[in-house]
Amino acid sequence: MTSTDTTVVPHKRVAKRKFQSEMSMAVVLVGIALVFEVLGWIFVGTSFLANQQRLSIIILQVSVIGILAVGVTHVIITGGIDLASGSVVGLSAMVAASLAQSSIDTRALYPALTDLFPIWPLLAGLVVGILAGWISGFLIAKTGIPPFIATLGMMVCARGVAKWYTLGQPISLLTPEFTWFGKSFLVLGFPVPLPVLIFLGVAALSHIALSYTRYGKYTYAIGSNPQAARVSGIDIGAHLIKVYAVAGLLSGLAGVVTAARAGSAQPVMGTAYELDAIAAAVIGGTSLAGGSGRIPGTLIGTIILGVITSGFTFLKIGSYYQEIIKGAIIVFAVVIDQYRRSRKTRV
């Protein structure tokens, strides 16, 4: 290079700035929890937070949404959207459950394939998910249709396939080995549900993938400026297919977990989950414009959703009111986030 100057300023990672947005989300989370705590003492007469069972239920309830939210975060960072995740949950739950039936069910869907080792239904659910994601990604990459349309189509189709698969009938009597995926374990004396561990594991792996691998760097680059990414030698089409396949894989996993938790599967499982997942990612600071967003934020966003739902139930607020207030909170959280961002940059 031009200069012979070899002095290097010691490399410093500015962790502080990186976690700034997560910190402010965490503050919001704590704030919401404290509001419920105070309201709890006033209206119910008990503590909201000092109830270990409630805390573990909060996370258990959102773990499926959380897995989807992690997947959709990948997609939103590329500047896309995944509307199909909820339907893919339903389809994957059905396919996995059909291979997880116990032989005591005399009317099993595949009588020859009962009492299978649970790895097979798990794999089947994941493959269904990857396939659905791959098809969406392929359509987006090769035909250039907007992700909104491609995944909207997949959302409708996957739900249709899920219903067609058993002509609308639920699948029940799953083997105990399979429902193990939805069970809890005692870790250091605390009951920890496996779905929660799966959610946290998926989040951790995703965070590593997005932050420390080429896959992640390319994902952010494409979302920030696809044209510049292309000129920088990135095969955008191939990468988008990968990203949607990853999101599909996670939807498939969420479907398996859902079926295992319920001990049965119905074609309507996961309806409207995609919207909660998108809400969790967006509350967590992922920008729908693409190019920004981080898994820790999505994690916090998911827990915020869980705390809100649990808090409403705790305060015995009717489900109609719950939805109204939840919608307002989602919008409000993003308005606050926008305001905070716009203040940081000059006019």
Partner 1 sequence: MQKISPSTVKAVRESGAVPNAEFLLEVKDVRKEFSGTVALDDVSFRLRRGTVHALMGENGAGKSTLMKIIAGIYQPDAGEVYLNALPIRLNNPLDALDNGIAMIHQELNLMNHMTVAENIWIRREPKTRIGLIDHAALYKNTSELFAELGIDLDPRDKVGTLSVASRQMVEIAKAVSYESDVLIMDEPTSALTEREVEHLFRIIRTLRERGKGIIYITHKMNELFEIADEVSIFRDGKYIATKFASELTRDEVIRMMVGREISQMFPKVPAEIGNVVLSVQNLCLAGVFEDVSFDLHSGEILGIAGLVGAGRSNIAETIFGVTPATAGTIEVDGKVVKVASPAIAMECGMAFLTEDRKESGCFLLLDIQQNMQIAALRNNYLQRGFVDQKRLSRDCELMGQSLRVKTPDMDEKILNLSGGNQQKVLIGRWLLTKPRILILDEPTRGIDVGAKAEIHRMISTLAAEGVAVIMISSELPEILGMSDRILTVRQGRVAGILDRAEADQVKIMELAAQ
In the complex, the residues that contact partner 1 under the rule CB under 8 A are 1-3, 5-6, 8-9, 11, 13-14, 17, 212-214, 217-218, 220-221, 223-225, 227-235, 287, 291-292, 345-347
Smallest separation, CB 20 to partner 1 (Å)? 11
Smallest separation, CB 245 to partner 1 (Å)? 17
Q: Which residues of 284-323 are buried (b: 16+ CB within 10 A; e: fewer)?
A: bbbbeebbbbbbbbbbbbbbbbbbbbbbbebbeeeeeebe
Shorter beta-carbon distance to partner 1: residue 9 or 188 = 9
Smallest separation, CB 260 to partner 1 (Å)? 30
Shorter beta-carbon distance to partner 1: residue 2 or 53 = 2
Contacting residues for 43 by C-beta, under 8 A, at least 6 apart: 315
Smallest separation, CB 2 to partner 1 (Å)? 5
Pair of tokens at residue 218: 């390319």
Smallest separation, CB 236 to partner 1 (Å)? 10
Shorter beta-carbon distance to partner 1: residue 11 or 316 = 11
Shorter beta-carbon distance to partner 1: residue 17 or 316 = 17
Angle made by CA atoms 275, 279, 281, in degrees to the nearest 5 = 120
Distance separating alpha carbons of residues 81 and 152, to the nearest angstrom: 10
> Please, what is the angle between helix 85-98 and helix 147-165, to 10°?
30
Pair of tokens at residue 158: 């996957």
Shorter beta-carbon distance to partner 1: residue 7 or 143 = 7
Query: What would the DSSP string read from start to end of 70-123?
Result: HHHHHHHHTT-----HHHHHHHHHHHHHHTSB-TT-TT-SSGGG-S--THHHHH
Shorter beta-carbon distance to partner 1: residue 103 or 213 = 213
Smallest separation, CB 254 to partner 1 (Å)? 25
